[in-house]
Amino acid sequence: MAAAKNNRTLLLFAVVLAVLATTGSSARRRWDLRLPSELPLIDEAAPLIHMLRPREAASGSHHLGLRARVPCDSWRFAVETNSVRDWDTVPEQCERYVGNYMMGGHYRADSRAVVDEAVAYAESLNLTGAGKEVWVFDVDETTLSNLPYYAKHGFGEKLMPANFSSTQKIRAEPYNSTAFGAYAKEANAPALPESLRLYKRLQALGIKPVILTGRREDKREATASNLARAGYTGYLKLIVKPQHVRVRSLEFKSGERKKLEDAGYIIVGNIGDQWTDILGAPEGARTFKLPDPMYYVG
Amino acid sequence: MAAAKNNRTLLLFAVVLAVLATTGSSARRRWDLRLPSELPLIDEAAPLIHMLRPREAASGSHHLGLRARVPCDSWRFAVETNSVRDWDTVPEQCERYVGNYMMGGHYRADSRAVVDEAVAYAESLNLTGAGKEVWVFDVDETTLSNLPYYAKHGFGEKLMPANFSSTQKIRAEPYNSTAFGAYAKEANAPALPESLRLYKRLQALGIKPVILTGRREDKREATASNLARAGYTGYLKLIVKPQHVRVRSLEFKSGERKKLEDAGYIIVGNIGDQWTDILGAPEGARTFKLPDPMYYVG
């Protein structure tokens, strides 16, 4: 009975969130929250709110029109395991689900599971590389969280992430590219707290962080100052994409990891939210995939 | 209110399952169900039972002893995204969770999301290879489901899958290796229904299935007859591991895919439940990761 009561409380809470989300003055749905320097976690230990009302998504719909419907949770499984690719929007029916996932503690819990493992792995290493051991970090949704941006702009609309490859077919609205670019230049994104914890622990262990992002050269300065502001200092280097080179994320990132190895560094770990951060030799001795059901980078 | 009522119904159902599971004559917990030729899906459209009672797992515990606890759902996220590796048991606290996941419809729904995508992708292909297009299928927890075995033997105990690499440190109980081996030789495992649907659709499209398993030569015959019994007929070839070669799953499988390509085949797709089915060039043009929170193959 305690569980049922708890469920009712959560259901009520979900309704309050929904009301908050629809009563803004703008015609567009938005999460009216202020998130200065921390992720907006309501209660980290809370059960998963969205599970009380499973939503469904049309699966395979980006290929061949509306097909069988699957639960949003299963859509997320297929996305996070790199089976569903090249999607440019969260399925419409799952916008609220993804919002709840991101804001309700589930996202944070999933990130924690990944980082707990990464920390345990790093602590188990016997470092013999005379200070040449490095750990590669992505930026967006890895070191930095753009949750404040997406909370404001919606979790389901067409997105144009900053590290969108120029060789990809662009179906997203240019407006959002501009908006995200402006947001990135503000250099005010908070740290993803779990990643910052890993970062600090690695430094204490003598493993040097390398920041490797698909953000381009014109955002180097803003990215560097945002990283510093969020607590990421003392990294070995910040590698950004050249401004006008047409290269896909996977090729760019694996190429840069290869350069690190050629320079004598040992990549003991690699963490990112996209599979293009992780796939492509050399991957690093271990890889860690953070959750990101908000957008896809090809 | 309908949702709350539904939740109570499910909670009741979960209790019934739990009672079933503990009233067996054996001292060991078991799922007393008979599963002749189909997966034991009670109600495919049902919400996710285990979510009503989130369980927690000690994360990173296999490295460094008990650490922070994360929800079992987050442990599963980290496992399914290849961040947590080399685990040999489901965390004790998550045994019931994994049982509910596997038996309660969630596993089937996740499999469906992956296969829906695979089918949509296959249907979108413009086949120009003059019949040389193939699709690689793994066996255990891909074409065939060993759920009847695990339902009987428990979802949390030390497992010794048939395709366990001989070069891996063996920490599992030999007993289970024997038991699973005997089960595999019975050749009575049901098809994973979603995989069979994909298999049949591919054949209709003119894409030839190739079966690539870490099961060894001594199980070739039993595997072939099990596949036929479960509905998998007309595949191009069944590739098993040589009996006495010491090779890890990833190297064996990517090596065999390379041989297929060298022989002129075009691997348009590749589906399996383990990352060792999927990683390692050549991976195939697209990869599809089926769920498996029951065991890890390194």
User: Tokens standing for B11?
Assistant: 């909670």
CB within 8 Å: B67 and A109: no
The reply to whether A72 falls in a domain is: yes
Please tell me the distance from the alpha carbon of residue B10 to that of residue B50, in angstroms, as a whole number: 9
CB within 8 Å: B114 and A67: no
Residues whose CB falls within 8 Å of the CB of residue A229, separated by 6 or more in sequence, listed in order: A187, A188
CB within 8 Å: A116 and B68: yes
The 10s digit of each residue's pLDDT in B95-105 is: 899 999 999 99
CB within 8 Å: A47 and B51: yes
The 10s digit of each residue's pLDDT in A220-264 is: 999 999 999 999 999 999 999 999 999 999 999 999 999 999 999
Nearest to B124 among A63, A118, A288 (CB): A63
Q: What is the CATH number of the domain that holds B142?
A: 3.40.50.1000
The reply to whether A156 falls in a domain is: yes
Residues of A in Cβ contact (< 8 Å) with B11? 3-4
CB within 8 Å: A51 and B48: yes
Over residues B274-293, the mean pLDDT reads 97
The 10s digit of each residue's pLDDT in B153-182 is: 888 655 444 444 433 333 333 336 788 889
Partnered with residue B210 across adjacent β-strands are B136, B237
pLDDT of res. A169: 34
Partnered with residue B270 across adjacent β-strands are B136, B287
Q: Which of B160, B180, B178, B157 is nearest to B169 (CA)?
A: B160
pLDDT of res. A154: 83
Q: Are A283 and A270 in contact (CB under 8 A)?
A: yes
CB within 8 Å: B289 and A53: no
Closest approach of A145 to chain B, Cα-based (Å): 19
The reply to whether B247 falls in a domain is: yes
Residues of B in Cβ contact (< 8 Å) with A77? 80, 110, 113-114, 291
Nearest to A78 among B64, B113, B279 (CB): B113
User: Tokens standing for A41?
Assistant: 């976690």
Closest approach of B182 to chain A, Cα-based (Å): 32
- Say yes or no to pLDDT of B6 above 60: no
Nearest to A8 among B4, B54, B85 (CB): B4
The reply to whether B195 falls in a domain is: yes
Please tell me the distance from the alpha carbon of residue A289 to that of residue B84, in angstroms, as a whole number: 10
The reply to whether B153 falls in a domain is: no
In Å, how far from its chain's centre is CA A138? 9
Number of domains into which chain B is organized: 1
What ipTM did this prediction achieve? 0.77
The reply to whether A10 falls in a domain is: no
The reply to whether B40 falls in a domain is: no
Alpha helices, H only, chain B = 2-22, 61-64, 72-80, 95-103, 106-124, 147-153, 174-186, 193-205, 220-230, 249-262, 275-278
Closest approach of A218 to chain B, Cα-based (Å): 32
Residues of B in Cβ contact (< 8 Å) with A59? 112-113, 116-117, 120
Residues of B in Cβ contact (< 8 Å) with A287? 82-83
pLDDT of res. A81: 98
Percent of chain A past pLDDT 90, that is, above it, reads 61
pLDDT of res. A156: 64
The reply to whether A20 falls in a domain is: no
Closest approach of A35 to chain B, Cα-based (Å): 24
Q: Say how many CB pairs under 8 Å bridge A and B.
A: 155
CB within 8 Å: A3 and B78: no
Q: What is the mean pLDDT of chain B?
A: 79
CB within 8 Å: B117 and A78: yes
Give the domain extent around A157. 31-298
CB within 8 Å: B124 and A64: yes
pLDDT of res. A6: 52
pLDDT of res. B157: 53
Nearest to B77 among A51, A52, A80 (CB): A80
Please tell me the distance from the alpha carbon of residue B109 to that of residue A71, in angstroms, as a whole number: 7
3-state secondary structure chain A: CHHHHHHHHHHHHHHHHHHHHHCCCCCCCCCCCCCCCCCCCCCCCCCCHHHHCCCEEECCHHHHCCCCEEEHHHHHHHHHCCCCCCCCCCCHHHHHHHHHHHHCCHHHHHHHHHHHHHHHHHHHCCCCCCCCEEEEECCECCCECCHHHHHHHCCCCCCCCCCCCCCCCCCCCHHHHHHHHHHHHHCCCCECHHHHHHHHHHHHHCCEEEEEEEEEHHHHHHHHHHHHHCCCCCCCEEEEECCCCCCCHHHHHHHHHHHHHHCCCEEEEEEECCHHHHCCCCCCCCEEECCCCCCCCC
Nearest to B64 among A83, A118, A123 (CB): A123
Q: Are A193 and A142 in contact (CB under 8 A)?
A: no
B69 confidence band (pLDDT: 50, 70, 90): confident
Please tell me the distance from the alpha carbon of residue B162 to that of residue A132, in angstroms, as a whole number: 39
Please tell me the distance from the alpha carbon of residue B294 to that of residue B80, in angstroms, as a whole number: 11
Residue of A nearest to B48 (CA): A51
Residue of A nearest to B274 (CA): A81
Nearest to A52 among B3, B64, B77 (CB): B3
CB within 8 Å: B113 and A47: no
Residues of B in Cβ contact (< 8 Å) with A8? 4
The 10s digit of each residue's pLDDT in B226-267 is: 999 999 999 999 999 999 999 999 999 999 999 999 999 999
CB within 8 Å: B74 and A117: no
- Say yes or no to pLDDT of B184 above 80: yes
Residues of A in Cβ contact (< 8 Å) with B4? 4, 7-8, 11
pLDDT of res. B155: 81
pLDDT of res. A177: 74
CB within 8 Å: A77 and B110: yes
pLDDT of res. B260: 98
